[in-house]
Amino acid sequence: MPYCCQCGQKVGTGDVYCASCGAAQPSSSPVSDYMHGISPRTASLLCYIPIVGWIVAIVVLASARFRDNTRVRFNAFQGLYLFVTWLIVDWVLGPLFSFPRMWGPNIYRVFPALMKAGIFAAWVVMIVKTAQDELYKLPILGDLAEKSVSEQR
């Protein structure tokens, strides 16, 4: 039998308030779905937040609520692949183009910066398209996302 969180008196398992002191008792039923209040469009939109959207995409892909929603899963995979592209440009191409100083002027450092600007622009375009409830496929990443969604059915 549980006890009151305020005064320590015995309370019933279904009691909302303590009969002795009137304090509200914490509910004992755990929340079953942590994505309950999020609409599919909002979940898709959050997957495209620059730099941190990958966290939301992983949460969306792991949630039971969106397991059968192919549109949300497509956007989550495409957001993940867009972030991986950002990482490749930032961690691989950036140092590759800035390392050898004997190649000439610093014009080679512009290429990774332009690629990052392009990826950031793709994030913004995807946020706008998703906010308008349009399904937009990025050229290469969209095909990868479609393949990933179809493999999980």
Handedness of CA 115, 120, 124, 130 (dihedral sign): positive
Q: Are 85 and 147 in the same domain?
A: yes
Task: Name the domain count of the chain.
Answer: 2
Q: Are 16 and 55 in the same domain?
A: no
Per-residue confidence at 5, pLDDT binned at 50, 70, 90? confident
Q: Are 126 and 77 in the same domain?
A: yes
Q: Are 47 and 122 in the same domain?
A: yes
- Per DSSP, 92 falls in state I
* 88 within some domain: yes
* 134 within some domain: yes
Mean pLDDT confidence for 64-89: 95
Q: Are 26 and 88 in the same domain?
A: no
Other Cβ atoms within 10 Å of 108 Cβ, number: 15
- Residue 26's identity, in one-letter code, is P
Mean pLDDT confidence for 70-82: 97
Other Cβ atoms within 10 Å of 95 Cβ, number: 10
* 98 within some domain: yes
* 128 within some domain: yes
Q: Are 26 and 44 in the same domain?
A: no
* 85 within some domain: yes
* 72 within some domain: yes
Q: Are 25 and 92 in the same domain?
A: no
| Domain of 138, in residue numbers | 40-151
Q: Are 51 and 115 in the same domain?
A: yes
Nearest to 82 by CA among 141, 133, 126, 125: 141
pLDDT at 1: 61
* 35 within some domain: no
Mean pLDDT confidence for 74-103: 87
Nearest to 118 by CA among 98, 148, 138: 138
pTM over 0.85: no
Q: Are 25 and 44 in the same domain?
A: no
CB within 8 Å of 80: residues ≥ 6 apart: 47, 54, 57, 58, 61
- Per DSSP, 10 falls in state B
Per-residue confidence at 30, pLDDT binned at 50, 70, 90? low
